Amino acid sequence: MNNHPIGIFDSGIGGLSIFGQISYLLPNENLIYVGDTAFLPYGTKSRDLIQDRAHKICSYLLSKHCKAIVVACNTATSVAIQKLRANFSVPIIGIEPAVKPATQQTRSRVIGILATEGTLEGEKFATLKQRFGNDITILHQPCTGLVEMIEAGDLNDKKLHELLKIFVLPLLECGADTLVLGCTHFPLIKPLIAYYAGPKVTILDPSIPVANELKRQLELKSLLLKEESGMYTFFQTGTNEQFEKFICKELGLEPILYSLNI
Ligand code: DGL
């Protein structure tokens, strides 16, 4: 089973930030990536729809014999991971906003979380706030529209810069010195976020801990692939023309991108 692939999915290109860390940490592993672009964005969709999409994608990945699945999406993790773990027996690794590390690093004792509505309204985030928000102010900013702008791929788009000002500057005005990227799309524009946040603000991206957790779980179950392989396959359910370009840009790969109808 060790040479079976690892499945990774997100609503779109956001999970490529996690894919990159996984391929770096576990270069031997075969990876299958699914971007559910036909249903993007997840952040404003109903729980039922996201749970249904997550179930369909995981069923597809298991039909490809995946030995583990990474939900490379904060929104889908928040809404669907419990059900996925109840329904499928392979290890399923999720992602959540890095609230704990942020509370450990902040000096101003004010942190800002940038995420989708779905993530910020979910129980998981409420629990994180309760656990770590005792003596720290946790500000949260729903970033409506940002995921679509990132998928469109034009980093010079005025609207994207306007949105970033609207989302980032109020957090700084309230004293945040640490910003958490609570959506896997946001690391793809980290330099722009850092530009508006300024040099004194720390920006946390949780993709490294997710890759580490995947490695830990595979090690525990003796599922790591020892010999060199590293075959990568990409699918999208919709028709984002930028998808292939993003894979080239983010991962330095010339991918074959398949269309997936599920
Ligand atoms: N990248 C995803 C996340 O981490 C989903 C964003 C969306 O589709 O709204 O939340």
The mean pLDDT values, 10 residues at a time, for the chain of 262 residues are 94 95 96 97 96 98 98 97 97 96 96 97 94 93 97 94 98 98 96 97 93 97 92 96 89 88 96
**No. of helices (H) and no. of strands (E), the chain:** 11, 10
Q: Ligand 1 centroid to 43 CA: how many Å?
A: 6
Q: What confidence score (pLDDT) does residue 36 get?
A: 98
User: Ligand 1: does its nearest atom lie under 6 Å from the Cβ of 119?
Assistant: yes
For the question of residue 248 being annotated catalytic, the response is: no
- Here the tokens at position 101 are 């590390």
Phi and psi at 139, nearest 5°, equal -90, 145
pLDDT at 199: 97
Does the annotation mark 73 as catalytic?
Answer: yes
58, 66, 143, 183: the active-site residue: 183
Say which residues have a Cβ less than 8 Å from residue 197's Cβ, sequence separation at least 6.
Answer: 168, 172, 179, 203
pLDDT of amino acid 133: 87
pLDDT score, position 250: 86
Residue 23 alpha carbon to ligand 1 centre in Å: 21
The total of other beta-carbon atoms located within 10 Å of residue 226's CB is 8
Report the pLDDT value the prediction gives residue 117, as an integer from 0 to 100: 96
Establish whether residue 42 lines the binding site of ligand 1, counting it when its CB lies within 6 angstroms of any ligand atom: yes
- At 34, which helix (H) or strand (E)? strand 31-35
- Ligand 1 mean position to 222 CA, how many Å? 31
The interaxial angle of helices 74-87 and 123-132, nearest 10 deg, is: 110
Classify 149 in phi/psi space as left (phi over 0), alpha (psi -120 to 50) or beta. Answer: alpha
Q: What is the predicted pLDDT for the residue at 179?
A: 98
Measured from the CB, is residue 73 less than 6 Å from ligand 1?
Answer: yes
